[in-house]
Structure 1
Amino acid sequence: MTTKTASLVQQRQAPLCEQYAKSPSDARIFDGAHTLNACSDDPFHGWVVPNHGSGESMLFGIHSAVGGDHDFPNPGDLLSAGLAACLDATLRMVASHMAIPLKSVQVAVAAECDVRGCLMVDPGVAVGFQRLRCSVNLVPEGDIDARKLNNLLAAAESCCVVMQTLRGGVSVVTELETLEAEQAHTGAAEIQV
């Protein structure tokens, strides 16, 4: 009798699933990011810091279609990167659960936006991306039938947090806080491009 060894994904996720079944409140996570207070004469560049990770800031730029230099990743690029990263990791984790060995996975995301809405050129054009396209290139290890790969993709899509958030929409609340001038300069970063 052969005993199947649990994959790394199964070893890590099985105890979490048990814990969340017993204590659903433990399953709530909080991700985020913040910009650094970098008020300058250049509104087309800034710094953003993801809340989790190394604490490294990332320089961002603004797309040339709205007046920026498009010399650094812009917010649309960062949104696309979030979707690509989430779908890529979800595909690999679900493949592990389904015992589908993969040689490689590559996810490319293209985001399409008509900027006339955000520039208030045409009030009939909605502000936001009108379409996101994900291209998934899976190379299985060995001969895996197409139906099984399609089932893998469907399962990954249904479990991909970022994809499902974008497809379903989410409530976004904005709160305005005003800071004293002294506090506003704390943590300011000099932007050099």
Structure 2
Amino acid sequence: MTMSSECVVPTRQRVLHQQYREAPHEAWIRDYAQTVAGDTSDPFHGEVEPANNAGHRWAYGIHRAVGGDHDAPNPGDLLASALAACLHSTIGMISQWLEIEVADLTVDVSAEVDVRGALRVDSSVPVGFQRMHVSVTGRVVSGGNDTASLKTLAGSAEACCVVMQTLKQGVDVRSEWRLS
């Protein structure tokens, strides 16, 4: 994540800051994905097609802890990947605003779940991930290698990471079923 003589992020985002101040409704976006109908006799495998992905599909499998083969990324892997990707890019954007050059940036995310709740083995065990751990490593090449700057970078990146804040705060999920 090297910085050029022109920092791309501030250049692109200044225009957006002004646009969203003047027209807040334009700041609302919608991300979307859907599963692709496949072999209904195999509940342990499938494909998902995210929006704006040029028709590319991602195969997924189900974890062996709930009966799957775990031979493809499972939904938990995709959730951890979403957090890792979001935080990685957010760190890159914030570091350009702060004029801190970071090299060899890696974001590792692990998520832990007790599957007894999902399998209805023990009703006292909640369904869902009970813990997630994020580890960020990298090297500051220039600008802001002091404790205060690094604290600002970390705090701002976590505060602006949409996926991290969604997971920390929770989100209203509504479902609609149309089975016939």
Q: How does 1:170-181 map to 2 (within 5 A)?
A: 170-178=171-179
Q: Give the aligned partner of residue 159 of structure 1.
A: 160
1:21-69 deviations in Å (ceiling 9; x for gaps): 0000000000010001114211100010011222201110000000000
Q: Percent identity?
A: 46
Q: Give the aligned partner of residue 111 of structure 2.
A: 111
Mind listing any 5+ residue stretches in structure 2 that lack a counterpart? none
| Total equivalences in the alignment | 175
Name the TM-score, length of structure 2 as normaliser: 0.93
1:83-137 deviations in Å (ceiling 9; x for gaps): 0000000001000000111122110000000000000000000000000100000
Mind listing any 5+ residue stretches in structure 1 that lack a counterpart? 180-193
Specify the code of the residue in structure 1 equivalent to 2:83: L
Match status 1:50 vs 2:50 = yes
Cα separation, 1, equivalents of 2:113 and 2:11:
41
Shift of 1:147: 2.8
Task: Kindly indicate whether the alpha-carbon contact (under 8 Å) linking 2:100 and 2:142 is maintained by their aligned counterparts in 1.
Answer: no
Cα separation, 1, equivalents of 2:58 and 2:150:
35
Shift of 1:10: 0.7
Q: How does 1:86-105 map to 2 (within 5 A)?
A: 86-105=86-105
- CA RMSD between the two structures: 1.3
**Farther off after superposition, 51-60 or 159-168:** 51-60
Give 3-state SS (helix, strand or coil) of 2:16's partner: helix
Specify the code of the residue in structure 1 equivalent to 2:165: Q
